[in-house]
A = this chain, B = another copy of it.
């Protein structure tokens, strides 16, 4: 599927629970990250964890994170403190014949590392492009690009994809043998994230058409 090197888990990123669900292909890591809209960034503040939803984008083995989701993340990153960034997709609700075996189908990527604050103006510009294109492909060239003031106001972090793990559950419920003959429905209710019809800004000139980058947007 991909020529990228396989994931080489460290002790921390080794999947312990449900190890049969762990994936070791770097292409799967990219796919899970690229399909997401927000991730959850965890930092430690005064000894306690803080987990906040965070916009992001990927370029090669670098994640760009939107630092403005919380001053907490910037403080942690400025100190080169460890962070954890997790992206999860729920793919299905798994109905079993017993309450105990109910489950979820999902794909999840967990990245560990030390985030770095981006200060170089050229890299800030690149990072904003990556973030913008992840959120809204095509928007970078179709809209006004950031000026000097906006670039200065953007808090941007990077995180290397050196230490990461991917976990995936797919397929039907795994019921006990003793329950298989029960007259109870079992199976999967698929879950998807979809877009609806575009809603124009009330301030928009109605003569401006919906561009293909919006009307054709599909989520991974």
**In residues 47-105 of chain A, which contact B (Cβ within 8 Å)?**
47-53, 55, 68-71, 82-86, 88, 90, 92-93, 95-100, 102, 104
Of all chain B residues, the one with the shortest Cβ separation from A207 is B183
Q: Is A120 located at the chain interface by the 8 A CB criterion?
A: no
Q: Is A31 located at the chain interface by the 8 A CB criterion?
A: no
How far, in angstroms, from A112 to B46 measured CA to CA in the complex? 13
How far, in angstroms, from A132 to B96 measured CA to CA in the complex? 11
Of all chain B residues, the one with the shortest Cβ separation from A12 is B48
Given A48-B82, A49-B83, A172-B201, A143 contacting B99 (CB threshold 8 A):
yes
A179 to chain B, nearest CB (A): 6
**Quick check: B179 and A144 within 8 Å, CB to CB?**
yes
A76 to chain B, nearest CB (A): 9
Q: Is A200 located at the chain interface by the 8 A CB criterion?
A: yes
Please indicate which of the listed interface residues A16, A86, A144, A150 has the most CB atoms of chain B within 10 Å of its own CB.
A144
Q: Is A204 located at the chain interface by the 8 A CB criterion?
A: yes
Of all chain B residues, the one with the shortest Cβ separation from A100 is B150
A-B contact pairs, 5 of them (CB 8 A): A16-B70, A40-B86, A50-B84, A50-B112, A189-B195
Q: 9 closest pairs, A vs B, by CB?
A: A42-B49, A190-B196, A48-B82, A42-B51, A40-B40, A42-B42, A98-B144, A53-B88, A186-B201
